[in-house]
Structure 1
Amino acid sequence: MLEYWFTLSPLLLGVYYLAILAVVVNILLENKNPLKTHSYLLLLLLLPVFGLIIYMFFGQHVRKRRIFNKNQLINSAFGQKYVTEYLSKENLTRIRKAILSEQFDKLIRFLNKDLSPLSQNNKITLYKNGEEKFVALKEALLKAKNHIHIEYYIFVNDDIGSELSDILRRKAQEGIEVRMIVDGVGSLGLKKAYFRNMQSAGVEVFEFMPVLFPALTSKINYRNHRKVVIIDGEVSFTGGINVDDRYINNGKFPTYWRDTHLKLEGVAVRTLQFLFILNWQFVTKQPWTPTKKHFPDLRADIGTSYVQVNASGPDWDLASIMDSFYLAINSARESLKITTPYFIPNESIMDGIITSAKSGVDVEIMIPHSSDAWIVQAASMSYMKLLLEAGVKVYFYKKGFLHSKTLTVDGKLAILGTANMDYRSFDLNHEVNTYIYDTQIALELNQNFEADKADCTLLNAQRWRDRSFGKKLSESICRLLAPLL
């Protein structure tokens, strides 16, 4: 047996070296991000066998090309038709010139070109935590008269999930069209019996990219991280709150969950409707021609907010959410307030934040004191030294877990959505953000930010420098792997 192993081992070693060579060549040829290239090469060096396995599962772009290239063409063609039919170019130009300030002109024009038209006649209602959001959502669902479209990254059939599911089944039995998309990883806990129960009541429900190996899926790529509900093409809900009892702080979980969501009424709902239709075509593999009921005529006096809704994902031409963050950050003249549960910015975003702070902008960032992923937390901490040196104020939220994803600029622009400030949201997941040009909404978010400071500690530069060598080293090592997290 030993002789057999000695004979076989050189062959296995040769095959392994060839595999490593092929992977290295593939990384160099395919990866457009040098930081990510360096991270994968480092992973292969430090973890010879395990690193290769990680790359095979999470690093290859072959799967992405096969799945999403065709969808990208469909999105582009359908998107141009949507903009032409439902928001004319003449209307967009007139709306853009009506903005009070040209401060955000680049951002507006960039998003307009990415199938995210600026619209007026919108009303925004903000919700702090799931306790507020789900009361409003259930009320709106019960009023549905034509259709309900719903997609969530996490949908758990617990107390709140069961309540929503009961409403969806009831509305379907009343003859309302109910279409539902849940992510194959985030909603992995849903059993087959749940899908059968919903479908038997008339709810059309599909999984977004179902997975074959659940044990390996906690961070698998290309997930649908969006949280969106659209009712009758007139009202929508979106933001950071998933369907899970954790978000309603009902005492079942020890950790307090701090999050932000919004209700959108008005013309911008059409963009969320358009995005849902794209994902529905993807999961069902069937074309769908929307009708007037999906894009109904709206009252002319719904609201006064100017709004753009923007999506990004592996089937999108641009890294639009990352680029829009960059443009928003660099448009700041007075103040910049950011909340995010995962802070692993790429070089462009980090440079924008630091440059803003050094130019006199009051930059404040709020992140969780403790994360639900230790390696992500450690990587995040490695950025703190540069932020502090630039004069950025960093707040650690200690009351519970901060899951809000918000950004305000000068009290004029408010951004709220599903995207974290990290590589995964920028490059890999399907995300959606709402850009609101409304001083009242920005003020409300800023007031929430100020209130949350009572549950935070302000990071002290001297104490941060005095941390142990081991802690600094571990954070620096995790930083090297940041593009892969």
Structure 2
Amino acid sequence: MDILSVFLTVLVVLNIAFASVVVFLERRDAGATWAWLMVLLFIPVLGFIMYLIFGQNLTRKRLFQWDDIQKIGIEELIARQVEEIKSDHFSFRDSTVSNNKELIYMHLINNEAVLTQDNEIKVFTHGEDKFDSLLKDIEAARNHIHFQYYILRRDALGKRILSALTEKAREGVKVRVLYDEMGSRTLNKRFFRDLIKAGGEVEVFFPSRIPYINPRLNYRNHRKLVIIDGVTGYVGGFNVGDEYLGLNPRFGYWRDTHLRIEGSAVLAMQTRFILDWNQASDSRDIDLEHRYFPEAKFRGNAGVQIVTSGPDSEWEQIKNGYIRMVSSAKESIYIQTPYFIPDTSLLDALRIAALSGIDVRIMIPNKPDHMFVYWATFSYIGEMLKAGARIYIYDNGFIHAKTIVVDSKTSSVGTANIDVRSFRLNFEVNAFIYDVELSNELGNVFLKDIHQSRELTIEEYSKRHLWIRFKESISRLLSPIL
């Protein structure tokens, strides 16, 4: 009994010490602090080990450095755009762009996201269409292919794309592949043996230095970017794997949204890829070469800013962009997301919009791919129903799109979900689009998807089983660290 008493006393003292450390390190976010304290309370000592693995704070650590960035004139261009917007001398191509002046300025100041106004954009909502287009562009590449995905599978689609990349490498095209170790944890460099032999290069983001132990497990590169010859770019929600073609029986048809962009926005995507690549590479940094930033005249007229965010950032740029879009809405807000776990600031903005008579509609999946996240989503959905929003449960498979459309004039498509992980923990990239035609198209996609969905009413939600209410409550308490 004496030994047991000593053990329990030591355990309590250690837990108090660990809790003090968490409070100190997490003082920037009260919600995350309380969530981690709950973990410590119910899982003493082991909870602190989980915190060390999952709860590190990378804010204000400069992970991405590229000394040559000044040479391509990005800093000068940003300074000029900021000054011209402030002095009302900026040359906006149309009213849709100029009406978002404040949002554009915020992204310029806080994210160095250059505004481009010469883009042509194609929307993909079916995996086969997206990957057929991507493979055609890969086959047409003449100079370089920069290929970055969170998930890259060793299945039929992954092998098909790898074969195409390897063939281009044999032809002398510079091929670089970057993938996230956690998202693509079944991969290893042997999978890329033929590509590397052909002259291609492969890097891994935040790899484990010790097998099966990764102290940065919670901070992953969730971006999906492809840049071909500095002229064509892809960004959106699709990863690379057979399930994204609807071939996984668990999920069925996979509904996602991806963009193919031609225009100056591709150069901003190129900059992001190079920064990510150089961070992951120990000795094969990409030096400044003009072939990566070709001078070309584009025929498109869509306004685009490529906005990135990550745990190394002081500001949550993509989330702040969402809030600004929501706050500017006059008529409608359409949101498609696999996870709906907004923080207080975004939740308040959406509730205020719904309470103000704005047509707020949110579409989520009918099945979970992460259980706690799914039930936390339903907890927040209930609040939006009470505020007057309309909620749709997508029944035709699994919806993975990360899309927001405001007033059919402004939109955002990218990799960021509406949850704390995307806002604070993952490295993400979104295209903020200022174009009526493209935003109308995305809005019509939402309305079309309603025919494959069922509307969840406040009456149905209020009748949910007590067990479901319990799961929602527990999941919501843990939502700041999910």
State the TM bucket, normalised to the shorter chain. Answer: over 0.9
Quote how far apart the aligned CAs of 1:96 are.
5.8
Task: Specify which of 18, 23, 26 is matched with residue 21 of structure 2.
Answer: 26
Q: Does 1:106 align with 2:97?
A: no
C-alpha distance in 1 between matches for 2:49 and 2:357 = 46
State the shift of 1:315 in Å: 2.5
State the partner residue of 1:290: 288
Deviations 1:114-155 (A, max 9, x none): 110111111100011211100100000111111110110000
Aligned equivalents of 2:43 and 2:247: distance in 1?
43
Q: Output aligned runs, 1:151-162, within 5 Å.
A: 151-162=148-159
Equivalent position of 2:80 in the other structure: 89
Correspondence 1:393 to 2:398: no
Aligned CA distance change for structure 1 residues 260 and 367 (closer, same or farther; 3 Å): same
Measured in 2, the distance between the counterparts of 1:218 and 1:362 equals 43
Offset of residue 453 of structure 1: 0.7
Q: Deviations over 1:265-285 (max 9, x none)?
A: 010111111001111110113
Deviation at 1:14, TM superposition (A): 4.3
Partner SS, residue 351 of structure 1: helix
1:447 alignment counterpart: 444
CA shift for structure 1 position 317: 3.3
TM-aligned CA deviation for residue 98 of structure 1:
3.9
Range with bigger deviation, 9-18 or 44-53 = 9-18
- In the TM superposition, residue 290 of structure 1 has moved relative to its aligned partner by 1.4
What is the SS of the residue equivalent to 1:69? coil
Contact 1:340–1:366 (Cα < 8 Å) also in 2? yes
CA distance in 2, matches of 1:186, 1:203: 21
Matched-pair contact (CA < 8 Å) for 1:185–1:211: no
CA distance in 2 between partners of 1:147 and 1:435 (Å): 26
Query: Is the CA contact 1:183–1:223 (under 8 Å) kept in the aligned structure 2?
Result: yes
1:47 equivalent in alignment to 2:43: yes
Q: 1:435-473 CA deviation, whole Å, 9 max, x = no partner?
A: 111111111111111111111110111121112223212
Partner of 1:3: none
1:176 matched residue in structure 2: 173
Cα distance 1:285–1:314, how it changes in 2: closer, same or farther (>3 A)?
farther
Query: Relative to structure 2, which stretch is displaced further, 444-453 or 425-434?
Result: 444-453
Secondary structure class of the residue paired with 2:63: helix
Aligned residues: 474
Secondary structure of the residue that 2:290 maps to in structure 1?
coil
SS at structure 1 position matched to 2:61: helix
**Aligned ranges for residues 210-359 of structure 1 at < 5 Å?**
210-211=207-208, 220-250=217-247, 255-286=252-283, 287-299=285-297, 301-359=298-356
What do residues 72-100 of structure 1 show as CA deviations (whole Å, max 9, x unaligned)? 5x269947965236667159745564440
Within 2, Cα distance between the matches of 1:106 and 1:450? Answer: 28
Question: 2: distance between equivalents of 1:76 and 1:354?
Answer: 43
CA distance in 1, matches of 2:190, 2:103: 46
Q: Which segments of 5 or more consecutive residues in structure 1 lack a partner in the other structure?
A: 1-5
Tell me the CA shift for residue 385 of structure 1. 2.4
TM-score by length of 1: 0.92
SS at match of 1:206: strand
How far off its partner does 1:196 sit?
2.8
Distance 1:77 1:210 in 2: 26
Cα 1:246–1:79 shift into 2, 3 Å:
farther
What is the rounded CA distance, in whole Å, between the counterparts of 1:78 and 1:20 in structure 2? 46
Aligned equivalent of 2:415, options 390, 413, 418: 418
SS of 1:185's partner is: coil
The question of whether the paired residues in 1 share the 8 Å contact of 2:333 and 2:358 is answered with yes
Q: Is the 8 A contact 1:245 1:252 kept in 2?
A: no
Q: 2:399, 2:366 → 1: CA distance? A: 8
1:247, distance to aligned residue in structure 2 (A): 0.7
> TM-score, length-normalised on structure 2?
0.92
Contact kept, 8 Å, 1:151 with 1:227, in 2: the verdict is yes
Aligned partner of 1:71 in structure 2 is 63
Counterpart position of 2:458: 461
Q: CA RMSD in A?
A: 2.4
| Residue from 22, 28, 32 that aligns with 1:36 | 32
CA contact (8 A) 2:53 2:214 kept: no
